[in-house]
Amino acid sequence: MNEMIKEMVKRERPDFDRLTDISGYSFPSGHTMNSTAVYGLIAYLISTRIKKGKWVVFAVSSILCLLIGLSRIYLGVHYLTDVLAGFAVGLCWLMFILTISEKVRQK
């Protein structure tokens, strides 16, 4: 999905000083999108198996995803809007996966 969106938008990466070399298009941030979906799913799965401290699991997951997104800006490989789009697409993908998962569990 990430590559499909990148090909549709074709936004070039920032041209200011980067701390690392990277190729390909910038929008959306794949690292941010994938970390949001994967760590969000892990947090959900853990929270369904524990009684106390669910907020801690989601807080740690959220902070980790935020730091990954910020690292992409810090490295100079993404604009803020790329990272925000990564969060949005990752959350949409996570909600889709969780919806399907709940439907399967109800059957």
- Tell me, yes or no, if 35 is annotated catalytic: no
Q: Helix %, strand %, coil % for the chain, to 5?
A: 70, 0, 30
Catalytically annotated residue among 61, 69, 78, 79: 78
- Tell me, yes or no, if 16 is annotated catalytic: no
**Exposure b/e, 2-19, CB count within 10 A at least 16 = b:** beebbeeeebebeeeeee
Catalytically annotated residue among 31, 36, 65, 86: 31
Positions marked active-site = 31, 78
